[in-house]
Amino acid sequence: MNLKQKIVGAAGAVSSVLMTGVVMAQTSGGAADLTAAVTGELSDGKAQLYVIGGAVLTLVAVVALIRHMRRAAN
């Protein structure tokens, strides 16, 4: 799954949670459920951003190491 698919999936998940929350909020006592659902979805999104950020940093480090090794060999 590439980054674009992950972003689209996360956006879809957030919108579905919000729509479910709106329906729940319109019924009795749904505000707490909406808050819990949104907080959970944001936490999952933050974890995904950390994973993507870690992968990007690893890629940058590998590229820097390869460039350093090439310069040292010359």
Neighbours of 54 (CB within 10 A): 10
Token look-up 């949104």 returns 38
Instruction: Decide: helix, strand or coil at residue 9.
Output: helix
Give the C-alpha separation, 54 to 9, whole Å.
20
Q: pLDDT tens digits for the chain (74 residues)? A: 677 676 666 666 656 655 555 555 555 555 566 667 667 777 777 777 788 888 889 999 999 999 999 998 87
Give the C-alpha separation, 25 to 27, whole Å.
5
Which residues have CB under 8 Å from 22's CB, separation 6+? 34
Instruction: Decide: helix, strand or coil at residue 29.
Output: coil
Q: What is the pLDDT of residue 49?
A: 78
Q: What is the pLDDT of residue 10?
A: 65
